Amino acid sequence: MNEVLQKPETVDGELVDSAGREIVLPDSSAVSREVQHTNNALYLRYLLLPFIFLTVALLGGLRIAGEDGAFVFFRPALVCLIFAAILLVLFARAGVLQTDGWFSESSPPLKNVANGFVVATLFAAATQVFNSLLPEQGLPFWIVAFCFFWTLWNNLFADFDARKLFRSLGGLFGLAFVAKYLVLANLTAPAGRTWFEALTENPGQEAITRLLDLPRYSGATGYIQFFAVALFLLGLYLFPATTNIQDRAGNLNGPLTRS
């Protein structure tokens, strides 16, 4: 009995509380699984997610010049910031991002700050995804921007859950990607041709390029942007709705498991 008292983790009898109710201790493997689970959630939330979102922020504005293959870092237009802000509001409405689960007076300040950084990286990534999907200039920019705005604005007033929001976003991003990197990219005349070559080889393409003010980027740009958008969607899938320990089950399963 003395030995048992000296090693409280060694239990060889029934434990009862002061009211006489039985206390059931979980077995040690379940506890270690729980610890592992919590650690994984922390690594995901504070290391993997910011890395994913910042990589999206890095790649979202990267274009490869058609003529010499040089990097072109295209800064986001103001409208991209507005769309990203609306998107974050949509996330909050759909429960993908529960504000009280990420920022709380009862949480330690360090946790609130760390969570703030994660949400900031999400905002940066969302901005750059819009920067990636919107045509750079001219009439196509305004048309696609209007379509984005129309869709996001309608979504603001729709009844949403996480699954529906993800479907809607997947469709929106997919369509915009096809419009920009397949349709418009194929209408763009290649760079580095002389006036004479442009007029004799493919005058229609040259005319559309000049009419719509399409920038001449290399085909590699489309591949990079596909990777950036896919990475953003992966980050969203992994993004926990809340960081509270009580809602851990919801945290680890990702937004798609929530109803």
Q: Is the Cβ–Cβ distance between 245 and 211 less than 8 Å?
A: no
Q: Is 216 in the site for another protein (CB under 8 A)?
A: no
**Tokens standing for residue 12:** 């060889």
Binding pattern to another protein, positions 27-66, x when CB under 8 A? -x--x--xx--xx--xx-xxx--xx--x--xx--x-----
Instruction: Give the residue, chosen from 14, 29, 73, 259, that forms a contact with another protein under the rule CB under 8 A.
Output: 73
Give the span between the Cα atoms of 182 and 17, in whole angstroms: 68
Instruction: Give the residue, chosen from 85, 88, 89, 114, that forms a contact with another protein under the rule CB under 8 A.
Output: 114
Residue 243 burial (C-beta neighbours within 10 Å; 0-12, 13-18, 19+)? buried
Q: Is 110 in the site for another protein (CB under 8 A)?
A: yes
Q: What is the DSSP string of 153-195?
A: HHHHTS---HHHHHHHHHHHHHHHHIIIIIIIHHHSPPSS--H
Q: Is 134 in the site for another protein (CB under 8 A)?
A: no
Residue 101 CB contacts under 8 Å (≥ 6 apart), including other chains: 240, 241, 242, 243, 244, 247
Give the span between the Cα atoms of 248 and 240, in whole angstroms: 9
- What residues pair up with 62 in beta bridges, in sequence order? 73
| Stretch binding another protein (CB under 8 A), from 107-115, 132-140, 147-155, 174-182 | 107-115
The residue (of 31 and 156) whose beta carbon lies closer to another protein is 31
Minimum distance from CB of 59 to another protein (Å)? 10
Question: Which amino acid, one-letter code, is at 31?
Answer: V
Q: Is 75 in the site for another protein (CB under 8 A)?
A: yes
Minimum distance from CB of 204 to another protein (Å)? 31
Q: Is the Cβ–Cβ distance between 98 and 239 less than 8 Å?
A: no
Q: Is 246 in the site for another protein (CB under 8 A)?
A: no
Minimum distance from CB of 246 to another protein (Å)? 13
Minimum distance from CB of 160 to another protein (Å)? 28
Give the span between the Cα atoms of 212 and 138, in whole angstroms: 6
| Stretch binding another protein (CB under 8 A), from 80-88, 113-121, 137-145, 149-157 | 113-121
Considering only residues 9-28, where is the footprint of another protein by CB under 8 A? 9, 25-26, 28
Minimum distance from CB of 145 to another protein (Å)? 20
Alpha helices, H only, 44-137: 49-60, 78-94, 99-102, 109-133
Residues forming contacts to another protein in the complex (CB under 8 A) are 9, 25-26, 28, 31, 34-35, 38-39, 42-43, 45-47, 50-51, 54, 57-58, 61, 70-73, 75, 110-111, 113-114, 117-118, 120-121, 124
